[in-house]
Structures are given as C-alpha cells and as structure tokens.
Amino acid sequence: MEFTVPDIDSQILESLHSPSLVVFADQVRANIDRMIATAGSVDRLRPHCKTHKMSEVVRILLQKGITRHKAATVAEVEMLADAGADDIAFAYNPVGPNIARVVELLRKYPGIKLSVTADHPVPLRQLSAAVAVAGVSVGVMLDVDVGLHRTGVAPDSDAALQLYQSIGELEGLTHAGFHVYDGHQHQKSLDERRTAVLSEWPKVLELKARCEQAGLSVPELLCGGTPTFPVYAELDERAIQLSPGTGIFHDVGYGGHFPDLNFVPAAAVVTRVISRPTPDRITLDLGNKSVAADPPKGQRVYFPALPTAAQVIHNEEHLVLETADAEKFQPGDVLLGIPTHICPTSALHQDVAVIDEGKLIGSWDVTARNRRITI
C-alpha cells in the first residue's frame, strides 16, 4: 500500500525543525468528516483524544458539533475540559491517588459531565467515599471485557450485574453505561472483524437487558476503537457511542493492515540527513525518541520518497537507512515520514507545526503529553 502526505512548499519545509512532527489541519478536518459520515451523526461519536492530545484538535471537534469525548489519563481529561469539552468519559479505572485527582477534576470543572470506568468493588468504594466527602458526583461505566482480557468483567458473569448494581448503591456514583473496548479485533478483512465483534455483542446486549430488568439505567454503550468503528457504526442500537482515536491522524500501521479504513495520513515526522556513513547508508535525526518504537524494528516509519529503504539501526536519536539511493542524499536534506504508530509518536513531541491548505499557520501544543497539567 502506498501512503502520501500533502506536498509542502520547499521554503516551508526547509524552515521546519527536525526531528519534529507536522500536522495537516485540512487532512484532520477531512478525517473528522469521514468519522461523522461513518457514524451517521455527530451524536454517535465520542472520539478518543489519546491520539493527538491537543486542545486545538478538540476545538475542531467541538466546531464540528462533537460534544462527547473520551480520555485515558487525568491530564487528557483536564486538556479536554480546558478546551471546552463538557461531556467526558475517562475510560480508565481510577485507583490510588488518581481517585483524588478525579475529585479535583470535578471541583475544577463543576459544569462537566464526567464518567470513569470500574471493574472491581474496592476502587469503586474508595471513589464513592472520596466524591461523597467532596459533595460531588461522577458517572461510572462498567468496564466490560469482550475478549481483549486487559481490563473489565466478563459480560456473562454474575459479577458484572452485581458490580453494576453496586454503583447505584454507592453515594455520589451514578450509572453511566458500559465501556466495551475490543483492541484485540485486528482481522484484516472487515467481514471477519464484523463476525468477531458480532459473536461477542449478544453478551453485551444480554447484560444490558439484565441490568435494565433489575431497574438499572444503561444510558451508553461506549464501543470500540478505529478498526471496529465501521462495525459498531452499522448496528442499530440507540445507546451505542463510537470511540475511534487513531483515525483522526491515521498512520501506516492501521492504513496498511485495515484496507477498508478510509482515513488519510494527517501527521508526518520531519527529519534530516545528518550523515552518509557508507555509500549505501544515510543516517537521519529520527531516533526512537522522535517516532514511536513500539512497532517492530525496521517498520516504525514509512518514507514516501524512499519506500523501499531498509531501517537497519534505530537508536535514541539516529535512524540509519540502507538504500541504493543513498548517494542522492547529502547532510541537511529533509525527508517526511509517516509513523507506523501515530499515538505514541504525538506524545514524544512538545508541539507540532501546522500546515493548512499548503500554508504554515503556526504550532499547536501537545498539551496532554504531560502526565500532569495542573491536577
């Protein structure tokens, strides 16, 4: 599969620092429009901010009419609330000092509707005690394990019903629905992905029905990431909210593996040749502190200008490419690369240069890359 990003005027390109990340705002807006089209309505979307972690992207989502947002860290929740989002699902189980931080969030942003996830009674009781003392309340989503086995309770277990029931019995906690994340569904074919999702789905619906029969409200089923986004989007269930994250920027990992996804790369790393140590090698200033190193070595970034170059050494500040074209390059030459995994790549950069319809319009902070903003 071929990947491209928009051409950048050579003067602008020369002015960009390296290593750095550049975001194409028009591509971001196009990806958000594709998300809305697939979801069928802004009201079915609760995009995850972990991919970009940027207030400016949140503002674009808000301008598009997307009012619900998802986060994985306290800093992401704070970044979202600060940017004006007022309906936030913190899809992470708060434990230890993070419980007090949730209370702080509620104090700092009294107008927001916040929910957290839970899959165990102990932190749930601690959360209840903390919010009760503070005189605030928070929604709780039951984290339902549909096969990823990372967190959550099995939907067909008695524990699931009991835990959801207990939310309503604990002071300061309200029923916010179920969190249904399925990051293990990585089938290349959309048909196979759909079949896999639909084999677990009846258990979720059955749990919802059992809870509702017990008089418990299940207002939301917060489902999936980008790969299963088109599958849940097809389902005719009012409570479904869709939470893709990666699609906002897209990357080579998803683009290469899921041919049905219609997003376009909206972010690229900027790097320069710093050396040509042998006739068939060029060394770039793009170490694993500038582009995510969780994909396998040799496959962490794709260069549209050098699609077949082998990535032979990847250290903290160096990436060595082996290519028959090496002699065409000299130190100072600039290359754009599309990351294989954009989400941890964004988190490696303090800010990004922003290009909109060919013009350099400034820079955006990657606000929530920091673990703590103020809370």
Q: How far is the CB of 353 from ligand PLP (least distance, A)?
A: 23
Closest CA to 238 of 63, 40, 90: 40
What's the Cα-to-Cα distance from 305 to each of 4, 88, 96, 278, rounded to whole Å? 9, 40, 48, 20
244 counts as binding ligand PLP under rule CB under 6 A: yes
Compute the distance between CA of residue 43 and CA of residue 68 in angstroms, rounded to an integer. 8
With CB under 6 A as the contact rule, the residue among 31, 115, 246, 271 that binds ligand PLP is: 246
| Residue from the set 8, 74, 91, 141 that interacts with ligand PLP by CB under 6 A | 91
Answer for which of 139, 172, 177, 225 binds ligand PLP (CB under 6 A) is: 225
Question: Among 31, 185, 243, 346, which residue sits at the site for ligand PLP (rule: CB under 6 A)?
Answer: 243
Which x/- pattern over 166-195 shows residues binding ligand PLP (rule: CB under 6 A)?
A: ---------------x-x------------
Which of residues 143 and 285 has its CB atom nearest to ligand PLP in the complex? Answer: 143
Binding segment for ligand PLP (CB under 6 A), chosen from 14-22, 52-60, 73-81, 239-247, is: 239-247
- CA dist 6 and 301 (Å) reads 17
Parallel/antiparallel/unpaired status of strands 359-365 and 138-145: unpaired
Site string for ligand PLP, 28-67 (x = CB under 6 A): --------------------x-------------------
Residue 124 exposure: Cα atoms within 13 Å on the Cβ side: 22
* Tokens 């006739």, residue located: 279
Q: Which stretch binds ligand PLP (CB under 6 A): 105-113, 166-174, 237-245, 320-328?
A: 237-245
Residue nearest to ligand PLP (CB): 225
- We find the least distance from the C-beta atom of residue 244 to ligand PLP, in angstroms, to be 4
Q: Which amino acid is at 64?
A: K
Min dist CB 246 to ligand PLP, Å, is: 4
CA distances from 249 to 63, 252, 265, 298 (A): 17, 10, 6, 22
**Is 90 one of the binding residues for ligand PLP (CB under 6 A)?**
no
Q: Which helix (H) or strand (E) holds 69?
A: strand 68-71
The answer to whether 245 contacts ligand PLP (rule: CB under 6 A) is yes
The two structure tokens encoding residue 246:
């990666």
Q: How far is CA 223 from CA 2, 51, 121, 192, 250, in A?
A: 30, 17, 23, 18, 19
Closest to ligand PLP by CB, 227 vs 287, is: 227
The residue ranges that bind ligand PLP (CB under 6 A) are 48, 91, 181, 183, 225-227, 243-247
